[in-house]
Amino acid sequence: MNQFITIFKKELKDILRDRRTLIMMIIVPMIITPMLIVGILKIQRVQLEKAKAKEIRVAFLGKENSSQLYQIFKEGEKIVLIDNFPEDSIAASIASDEIDGAVIVRSDFPSNIESDRQAKVEIYFKSSEAFGSAIKRMTDLIESYDKQIVEERIDRLNLDKDLFNAVAIVKKDVSSVQERIGKIAGGYLPYMFILFSFMGTMYPGIDLGAGEKERGTLETLLSSPANRLQIVLGKLGVVSLSGIISALIAILGIYLAIQMIEDIPADILKVILDMLGFKIIITILTLVIPIAVFFAAMVLSISIYAKSFKEAQSIIGPANMIIVIPVIIGLLPGIELNAKTALVPILNVSLASKDLLAGTINPFHLVEVYFSLFLLAGIAVWGCVRWFNREETLFRT
């Protein structure tokens, strides 16, 4: 026990003095997370506003067939109308961004409108255009014209408006704001802390295994009275702790990011901050602990097998992908925590966190998640200890 504490204390001191570990463990999750969240939202908003504010150039063909529609387009905000555009060059001009769209009103349009039939307006656009702002603005204007004509017809024929709206849908959403946000955004929180808890274990894990071999200190340690179980557990303790701290800091980073986003309505902000309340964070942390222990055992096993820092890195790098896959599956809509998914490691943490945040967690499933995680962590630690006891692993040539 004493030796375990000695090793734990020394390894902790050692990694806390390693700049690389500190950057990965504290700085990256602390700064990258808020920057990523706030940055992406900001870029998205700026782009959207830009698209809205952009002046679009629309070719209007058949002005003589509907002066009313032409007028509506003319009065439309930030629209430059081009008359007398040759019809055969519309497609090419939109493709080359010379114009953003085109409206064609054919000669049968007035007669159809006058005889209360359906008249057609053709619009040309490019759906690949970012935010589809041209098509949306053109459609909005035509729809407003359509509404105007329909209302005129109803009035003229003295009909009841309800004739055309036989069924009105009255939507009553019983999910709370917390549930809605939890289900939509809840997946990203576990995504962040699962990844960061893995990244937090990476450098210390490599350093305390392969690094020890590279420095030649492994022999010093192995020829000390500490037995191999104490050595592995001391190292695992520090690597796991590093993963847990990283995850915690990532959560803190998200918390900060939310407060940095300017245009969250006050009531929604309150719900979000309530969601990230003490009790939920503690529950999520209890999920992080076994997952961090699992990552630590995995990284340390690879690291102790590798002959050098470089080799360990080259094996652990791709392992990142294996972790990302279940996390991304957890982000997909329709994948929910049930008796089966609760048993799939990593994915279950992602799904359970989503439910925890939404306040809809099924306690039975949560127990299953814990069972699966602790079992996995236990197996990983057992494997790591056995691995460390193998002469072929320690003195691999």
Partner 1 sequence: MITVTHVSKEFKLTKKSRNEMGGAYRNAKTITAVDDVSFECLPGSVFGLLGPNGAGKTTTLRMVATMLKPTSGNITVSGFDTQTYPQKVREKIGFMTGQTALYDRLTPNEMVRYIADLQGMGVNEFKSRRDQLFDVLDMHDFANRRIARLSTGMKQKTSIARTIIHNPDVVIFDEPTAGLDVMTSRRIVELIRTCREEGKTILFSTHRMEEVKLLCDDIAIIYQGRLFFCGTLEAFEAQMTFDSFEDEFIHMTSEV
Q: Which of 31, 41, 226, 315 binds partner 1 (CB under 8 A)?
A: 226
With binding defined as CB under 8 A, does residue 67 bind partner 1?
no
The nearest distance, CB 239 to partner 1, in angstroms, is 16
The nearest distance, CB 240 to partner 1, in angstroms, is 20
Pick from 103, 82, 101: nearest CA to 145: 103
With binding defined as CB under 8 A, does residue 165 bind partner 1?
no
With binding defined as CB under 8 A, does residue 160 bind partner 1?
no
With binding defined as CB under 8 A, does residue 173 bind partner 1?
no
According to DSSP, residue 31 is labeled I
Give whichever of 20 and 136 is closer to partner 1, judged by the CB atom: 20
Give whichever of 7 and 244 is closer to partner 1, judged by the CB atom: 7
Q: Which of 1, 2, 158, 173 binds partner 1 (CB under 8 A)?
A: 2
Give whichever of 113 and 208 is closer to partner 1, judged by the CB atom: 208
Residues 191-220 that bind partner 1 (CB under 8 A): 215-217, 219-220
With binding defined as CB under 8 A, does residue 172 bind partner 1?
no
CA angle 117/122/123 to nearest 5° reads: 140
Q: Which of 123, 185, 222, 281 binds partner 1 (CB under 8 A)?
A: 222
Give whichever of 8 and 191 is closer to partner 1, judged by the CB atom: 8
Q: How far apart are CA 54 and CA 58, in angstroms?
A: 13
With binding defined as CB under 8 A, does residue 129 bind partner 1?
no
With binding defined as CB under 8 A, does residue 22 bind partner 1?
no
Within 8 A by CB and 6+ apart from 203, the residues are: 15, 18, 20, 21, 24, 25, 242
Q: Which of these segments, 13-21, 241-249, 291-299, 354-362, binds partner 1 (CB under 8 A)?
A: 13-21
H-type helices in the chain, by residue range?
Answer: 2-16, 19-22, 33-53, 67-75, 90-95, 109-114, 133-156, 177-185, 188-208, 210-215, 217-222, 228-260, 266-275, 278-305, 309-331, 347-358, 363-389, 391-394
According to DSSP, residue 336 is labeled -
Cα–Cα separations (whole angstroms), residue 118 to 104, 112, 114, 147, 157: 15, 6, 10, 13, 16
According to DSSP, residue 339 is labeled T
Q: Which of 12, 18, 81, 177 binds partner 1 (CB under 8 A)?
A: 18
Give whichever of 306 and 346 is closer to partner 1, judged by the CB atom: 306
With binding defined as CB under 8 A, does residue 20 bind partner 1?
no
First-to-last alpha carbon distance for the chain, in angstroms, is 32
The nearest distance, CB 9 to partner 1, in angstroms, is 8
Q: Which of 14, 129, 146, 336 binds partner 1 (CB under 8 A)?
A: 14
Cα–Cα separations (whole angstroms), residue 14 to 22, 55, 101, 304: 11, 60, 64, 17
Q: Half-sphere exposure of residue 156, counting CA atoms within 13 Å on the CB side?
A: 9
Q: Which of 225, 265, 277, 334 binds partner 1 (CB under 8 A)?
A: 225
With binding defined as CB under 8 A, does residue 386 bind partner 1?
no
**Main-chain phi, psi angles of 196, to 5 degrees:** -70, -35
Residues in contact with partner 1 by CB under 8 A are 2-3, 6-7, 10, 13-14, 17-18, 215-217, 219-227, 391-392, 394-395, 397
